[in-house]
Amino acid sequence: MTSGDALVICEGVSRVFGTGSRAVVAVHGTSCVIEPGGRVAVIGSSGSGKSTLLHLIAGLEQPTVGSVTWPGLPLAPDRAFEIGVVFQSPSLVPALTVEENVALPLILADTPEGEWRSRAAEALGAVGLDDLAGRLPEELSGGQGQRVAVARVLAQRPRLVLADEPTGQLDRASGQHLIDVLLRTASQIGAALVVSTHDRTVADRLETHWYMHEGRLHTSSGERILS
Amino acid sequence: MIITWLGGLLSRRLGRLLAVSAGIALAVALIAALGAFLTASQSTMTARALRSVAVDWQVEVQPGANPAEVLRRVTAAPDVIAARPLQFASVKGFQATNGGTTQTTGAGVVVGLPSDYRSTFPQQIRTLSGADTGVLLGQQTAANLRSRPGDTIRIQRAGRPAVVATVTGVVDLPLADTLFQKVGAPPQSQPSAPPDNLLLLPSATFSRLLGNSPFKVQIHVARRPPAQSSPEAAYQAVVGAGRNLEAQLAGGALVGNNVAAALDAARSDAAYAQMLFLFLGLPGAVLAALLTAALVGAGASRRRNEQALLRTRGLAQRRIGQLAVVEALVVGVAGGLFGVVAALIAGRIAFGPASFGISTAATAMWFAGAFVVGLLIAGLVVLVPALRDLRGLTVADARRSIRGRTNPWWMRAGVDLILLAGAVGVFIASSRNKYTLVFAPEGVPTISVSYWAFLGPALLWLGGALLLWRLAIMALAHGRRPLARLIAPLTGRLAQPGAAALTRQRHLLARSIVLLGLAVSFAVSTAVFNATYRQQAEADAQLSNGADVTVTPAPGSRTSPREAAVLAATRGVREVEPLQHRFAYVGADLQDLYGVQPATITSATALQDAYFQGGSAAQLMNVLAANPDAVLVSAETVQDFQLNPGDLLNLRIQDDTTKKMRTIPFHYAGIVNEFPTAPRDSFLVANANYLAQQTGSDAVGAFLIDTGGRNQPAVAAALRHEVGTRATVTDISHVRAEVGSSLTSVNLAGLTRLELTFAVLLAAAAGGLVLAAGLAERRRSLAIISVLGGRRRQLRGLVLSEAAVVTIGGLSGGALVAWGLSVMLVKVLTGVFDPPPSVIAVPVGYLGIAVVAVVAALTAAAFAAARTSTRPPVEELREL
């Protein structure tokens, strides 16, 4: 596979927060490529720069140095519809129902109401939450909230799914179940999946492992950071 | 821990802390400024009441008592500066022969004055023509006798031959009612009017001409002003002093306590000033407290989350409570200090240093009180909800943000409708005693104030606000589709979920709408009240002066209405209207009679409908025009003579040709309560042409001059130059300062500026700050939508939609509540107005400014939030 087929290419990317003596380098000189259909685990301890890297890949952050390009994805602003993001913290709109939260990317993409309703129902069914469609986010547990976020990605049908520590607030069983859902969802829609985690059992479910340590990315499998 | 928490609050939540402090500062500033002003205004009222009195005491020597001994005791009484004896004798009448005809008046009074009387009591007598001393003829007597200085008159003594005196001057007694009071008699036994015929003589002349006739002696007293600053306290002091003197004189004399009477009226006005403070100041303070509560409430979700986090990390509830105490103290103290400084600045700007705060101590008391109120508000709105949440919620509950999906208890119980019904009930009850708020019967030492009447507007305000809340929730709950259509131009494809979100946040939105509505209704009703007050004060001044400028020909002179053309040529004069003035007997009662040109009278002066009964001003002027013999009379005359519309009313008026009184038939056509230049007691208004035709004279009593409301002093000066000594020229700006109650004398312009400024600030803050605080809580939602592909335009649209809903709901709801409140306020506070208004005044300019300020604040808040919503979403999410 050539770089022309890649979804995302990062070249020498650095991201620095703050200036002067208070500057913090979150990501340092990172280069990587995400291929269509890829399954990547970004592994690293807390504060290693995993979330910032995912934000750079999603286009939510601008690199301080280097470039991020999306040759396999459309130009902004339509690119947002082809990248699905699952955040570590709750990322549902409190005033919208579960169904409306799931359908939100479709509504933003001007999808007809009939279609977004059926796709939202389908996505909620896939994560086993179809009976909670009318609930508000505050009525859900933490695990249910994350599954709704996954259902949103499923309904969105992006070509790249980025999940930032999606199991961070869940117990092991719930975390494994969520990873099952994510993998199944990515397979169903044929999307590439990048999951950041510090949990080895989660990482082991994915084919490719990248390691982050103090802002530097190591894509070779020989270097293990995790204990 | 507390220091760390405080540091975190100051560094991370400074904006919110400042906003809450600003809300508290508004309440503190309003209370402190109005309170200090209230104290100062009472002092002003006392000073004005004292200034209005020409003679502090009129001590009447009783039959059998020795006048010299009474004078000695009065002079020796505490605080007496001067005491002068006067003689009063009743005579059969006066007679004068001029131009071959002889005029004779009815019964009259002759007063003997000490030589230094006029310098001791300068306000008592005003010279209209001739000398200041010697034989001085009253204005009306001079008119009746057609006498001028230099003429000879005969004083007809009862049972004795007439004596002759040469007139040296014509005078006016501005306080004749008081001078000729029946000392010691209750108000209902006082004469309804001073004597029609009056002659003032030097004491020596009096003794020479009337020394053998029976006469009474009155000692006029000037006293040091009382030390007390409030009218009530000063009143109590002077009443006590008067009674003390009466006790010392042991029945030898009665004290007519004029200064006490003036203070008696002033203490009523002071009570009204207190009512105004209550009606106009208290709602503002309550509103500021509600605004602060709403600001705190907008951050309640975050506070609950923070509390939940602290609890999950093991911090004891007591410690979390202490953190809430620290937060309340910080905003309370900061708000209190800001408020006190703001009150000082606002007070100085609105009133000036001289009239703001009677003394440092009184001002400090009000400021300290307001500061404590600020701390209480902080405790109520910051501490109490935090402690309540802490005790009542589980951690899971605390993390919920869309709370209160069921309607609140008051809505289910119909409290809004109950309050409105209560408002109507109190209003009806108040109307039964003609909205009398202050009961101050003359001579009764204490006054009572009906604070119950305050309940009517208060219940209406609160009930209206709760009803607005109910309607807003109903509209938002059931109007999702129209709401989606309304916001579609702003949100595009997000209209449906945007409307759904607004519907689900209806309780939060309704709160913002109600707060804005309350602020708008406060601003509008305050403005309407103040505008109506100004309108009526102006009407009062115009009633007293007659018009912008009034030219009154000298007594005894005969001025043709054609003189109007000369006056009209003066620069600045727009219209000149001649007004006839005669005296007419209704039965045995002598009354002022005004002859008007019904078709043109309103070109030079304003006639309000409230001046008349039995028709509007225009209708009754049409009646006078269509029926030349129609006459408008006072309600008292209608009652005294049992008149019905159309009844024949014969008036005896002097015929200019024969100089004798003749009977002229009129027909009763309506009631007139007030009329330009007319006295407050009974008078008549008739058609000038008919009057001229019947009496053979079209002589003008006064020219009413309209200047278009501009440059009255300058126009008056030009007219004075034109007419010289032939007439007296008065302008409304001069009269404005003289007439009116002591309430009018209070710096109402400053009070108005202060209130209206606070009202606009509150309305703008209610709209802007609450919306901004609410939207700040939704930054996460906007950031999430942005991550999911929401465009800047869509995010801005969502924010603006919320602002539009709050603006439309708050302004329209507030306007409705304001309308009802304004009408009720003006009715309930009828006693403050003189004359009572027939219509309320709507200050369009101010209201326009207020609406622009509110919309600008809302727009600024919305655009600030919209700008924040377009920041990089991850940056936003990271900060929250």
pLDDT tens by residue, B186-216: 766 677 667 878 999 999 999 988 877 888 9
Single out the residue of B561, B558, B553, B591 nearest to residue B689, CA to CA. B561
Distance from CA of A193 to the nearest CA of B (A): 17
Q: Using CA atoms, how far apart are residues B705 and B714, in angstroms rounded to an integer?
A: 13
Q: Is the ipTM of this complex over 0.90?
A: no
Min Cα–Cα distance to chain B from A77, Å:
7
Residue A5: Cβ-neighbour burial (10 angstroms; 0-12, 13-18, 19+) = exposed
Question: Of all residues in chain B, what percent carry a pLDDT higher than 70?
Answer: 89
Q: Is B94 in contact with B165 (CB distance < 8 Å)?
A: no
Q: Reply yes or no on whether the pLDDT at B16 is more than 60.
A: yes
The residues on B that touch A, with CB distances below 8 Å, are: 399-402, 493-494, 496-497, 500-502, 504-505, 778, 781, 784-785, 787-791, 794, 872-874, 877
pLDDT at res. B271 = 77
Q: Which pair of structure tokens corresponds to residue A225?
A: 């950071």
Tokens of B619: 């209708």
| Residues 6 or more apart whose Cβ sits within 8 Å of residue A55 | A61, A164, B874
Give the confidence band of B403 by pLDDT, cuts at 50, 70, 90: very low
Helices first, then strands: H and E counts in chain A:
6, 9
> Which residues in chain B are contacts of A110 at CB distance < 8 A?
493
Whether A83 maps to a domain, the answer reads yes
pLDDT value, residue A224: 38
Interface contact flag, B788 A89, Cβ < 8 Å: no
Reading the block at residue A3, the tokens are: 């770089």
Residue A21 placed within a domain: no
Q: What is the mean pLDDT of residues B646-659?
A: 88
Residue A95 is nearest to which of B496, B781, B789, comparing CB atoms? B781
Contact status, residue B88 vs residue B215, Cβ threshold 8 Å: yes
For residues B825 and B751, the model is more confident at B825
Going by pLDDT thresholds of 50, 70 and 90, the confidence category of residue B356 is: low
**Residue B585 scores a pLDDT above 60:** yes
Chain A residues within 8 Å of chain B (Cβ atoms): 55, 58, 60-62, 77-78, 80-81, 85, 87, 89, 91-97, 100, 104-105, 107-110, 113, 136, 138, 152, 156
CA-to-CA distance for B649 and B735, rounded, in angstroms? 34
Binary contact (A104, B500; C-beta < 8 A): no
- pLDDT higher than threshold 80 for residue B735: no
Please identify which residue in the block is written with the tokens 């700007």.
B349
What single-letter amino acid sits at B218? Answer: Q
Are residues B501 and A95, on separate chains, in Cβ contact within 8 Å? yes
Q: B787 with B873: CB under 8 angstroms? A: yes
Q: How far is CA B648 from the centre of its chain?
A: 40
> With an 8 Å Cβ cutoff, are B794 and A108 in contact?
yes
Distance from CA of B512 to the nearest CA of A (A): 17
In a domain, A29, yes or no: no
CATH classification at residue A107: 3.40.50.300
| Token pair of B771 as six digits | 């919306």
Tell me which chain B residue has its CA closest to the CA of residue A77: B789
Residue B201 to residues B14, B165, B169, B221, B510, Cα–Cα distance (Å): 79, 9, 11, 19, 77
Please list every residue in chain B whose beta carbon sits closer than 8 Å to the beta carbon of residue A85: 787
Q: CB–CB of B791 and A109 under 8 A? A: no
Name the least confident of A187-196, B362-371, B779-788.
B779-788
Residue closest to B654 by CA, chosen among B710, B581, B724: B581
Q: Rounded distance, CA B341 to CA B349, Å?
A: 12
Which of B405, B787, B794, B875 to mutate against chain A (most A CBs within 10 Å)? B787
Rounded to whole angstroms, how far apart are CA atoms B44 and A209? 86
Residue B357 has pLDDT above 60, yes or no: no
Q: Is residue A193 part of a domain?
A: yes
How confident is the prediction for chain A on average, in pLDDT?
85
pLDDT given for residue B128 in this prediction: 81
The answer to whether residue A5 is domain-embedded is no
pLDDT of residue A227: 30
Mean pLDDT within A176-185: 86
- What pLDDT, on a 0 to 100 scale, did the predictor assign at position B623? 93
Q: What is the pLDDT of residue B715?
A: 92
Quick check: B709 pLDDT over 70? yes
Q: From A136, which residue of chain B is nearest by alpha-carbon distance?
A: B402
- Cα–Cα distance measured from residue A124 to residue A153, given in angstroms and rounded to the nearest whole number: 11
Nearest to B874 among A60, A104, A138 (CB): A60
pLDDT on residue B880: 43
> Is there a contact between A93 and B501 if contact means CB atoms under 8 Å apart?
yes
CA distances to A178, B455, B522, B665 from B460, rounded to whole Å, are 57, 8, 12, 52
Confidence of residue B686 (pLDDT cuts 50, 70, 90): very high
Residue B337 — pLDDT band, cuts 50, 70, 90? Answer: very high
Two tokens, residue B297: 């409430």
CB atoms inside a 10 Å sphere around CB B12: 11
For the residues B451-458, what does the mean pLDDT come to? 80
Using a CB-CB cut-off of 8 Å, the residues of chain A touching B401 are: 94, 138
CB contact under 8 A, B402 and A95: yes
Shortest alpha-carbon distance between residue A222 and chain B (Å): 32
Q: How far apart are CA B849 and CA A74, in angstroms?
A: 50
Element (DSSP H or E) covering residue B108 = strand B108-113
Average pLDDT (B11-25) is 83
Task: Indicate whether B50 pLDDT > 70.
Answer: yes
Is a pLDDT exceeding 50 seen at residue B493? yes
Q: DSSP assignment of A76-131, as one string? A: TTGGGGGEEEE-SS--S-TTS-HHHHHHHHHHHTT--HHHHHHHHHHHHHHTT-GG
pLDDT tens column, B227-265: 877 888 889 899 999 999 989 888 889 999 989 888 887
Helix (H) or strand (E) holding B456: helix B455-478
Task: Report the distance separating Cα B782 and Cα B799, nearest Å.
Answer: 9
| Residue from the list A61, A77, A94 with its beta carbon closest to the beta carbon of B874 | A61
Report the alpha-carbon distance of residue B181 to residue A117 in Å, rounded: 91
Residue of A nearest to B496 (CA): A107
Kindly report which listed range (B84-98, B305-319, B689-703, B792-806) carries the lowest average pLDDT score: B305-319
* Mean pLDDT across B394-405: 52
**Measured between alpha carbons, how far is B62 from B57 in angstroms, rounded to an integer?**
15
Give the pLDDT mean for B335-349: 86
* Nearest residue in A to B502, CA atom: A95
**B624, pLDDT greater than 90:** yes
Distance CA B688, CA B595 (A): 4
Choice among A1-15, A136-150, B544-558, B635-649 with the minimum mean pLDDT:
A1-15
CB neighbour class for B520 (10 Å; exposed up to 12, middle 13-18, buried from 19): buried
Q: Which two tokens stand for residue A166?
A: 């999606």
How close, in Å, is residue B469 to chain A by CA atoms? 20
Using CB atoms within 10 A of its CB, is residue B311 exposed (0-12), middle (13-18) or buried (19+)?
Answer: middle
Question: Is residue B150 pLDDT above 60, yes or no?
Answer: yes
Structural domain for A83, as ranges? 36-59+73-205
Residues of chain B found within 8 Å of residue A159, distances taken between Cβ atoms: none
What are the tokens at B118?
A: 């006029």
Q: Which helix (H) or strand (E) holds B596?
A: strand B589-596
Residue B416 has pLDDT above 70, yes or no: yes
Which two tokens mark B667?
């027909």
Structure-model confidence comparison of residues B314 and B879, the more confident one: B314
Residues 6 or more apart whose CB falls under 8 angstroms from that of A212 comprise A42, A43, A44, A48, A49, A50, A53, A196, A218, A225
| Contact partners, residue B329, CB within 8 Å, separation at least 6 | B375, B378
Domains in chain A: how many in total? 1
| Contact call for residues B439 and B450 (beta carbons, < 8 A) | yes
Contacts 24+ apart (CB under 8 A), B619-628: B620/B669, B620/B670, B620/B672, B621/B596, B622/B598, B623/B669, B623/B670, B624/B596, B624/B598, B624/B669, B624/B685, B624/B686, B624/B687, B625/B598, B625/B599, B625/B687, B627/B667, B627/B669, B627/B687, B628/B687, B628/B689, B628/B690
User: For chain B, what percent of residues have pLDDT higher than 90?
Assistant: 25
Quick one: pLDDT at residue B671? 92
**Beta strand ranges found along B309-465 (DSSP E):** 438-439, 448-449
Question: Could you tell me the pLDDT band of residue B353, with boundaries at 50, 70 and 90?
Answer: low
Going by C-alpha positions, the residue among B311, B221, B206, B297 that lies closest to residue B258 is B221
**pLDDT-wise least confident of A55-69, B341-355, B754-768:** B341-355
Candidates B496, B500, B784; nearest CB to A91: B784
User: How is residue B191 annotated by DSSP?
Assistant: -
Contacts of B393 in chain A (CB under 8 A): none
Mean pLDDT on A10-27: 87
Q: Which residues of B touch A93 (CB under 8 A)?
A: 501, 781, 784-785
Is the pTM for the entire model greater than 0.90? no
pLDDT above 80 for B750: no
Mean pLDDT of the B479-484 span: 88
The candidate with the shortest Cα–Cα distance to A35, out of A72, A67, A69, is A72
Q: Is residue A1 over pLDDT 50?
A: no
pLDDT digit string (tens) for A119-150?
A: 999 989 888 888 999 998 888 888 888 889 88
Q: Facing residues of A83 across strands? A: A160
Question: pLDDT averaged over chain B?
Answer: 83
Residue B710 reports pLDDT greater than 80: yes
The span from the CA of A71 to the CA of A80, in Å, is 14
Query: pLDDT band at B737, cuts 50/70/90?
Result: low
Is the predicted pLDDT of residue B148 greater than 90, yes or no? no
State the DSSP code for B66.
-
Least confident of B254-268, B531-545, B864-878: B864-878
Q: What share of chain A is helix, strand, coil (3-state, %, to 5)?
A: 40, 25, 35
Alpha helix (H) residue ranges in B492-643: 495-504, 506-545, 563-568, 617-626, 635-640
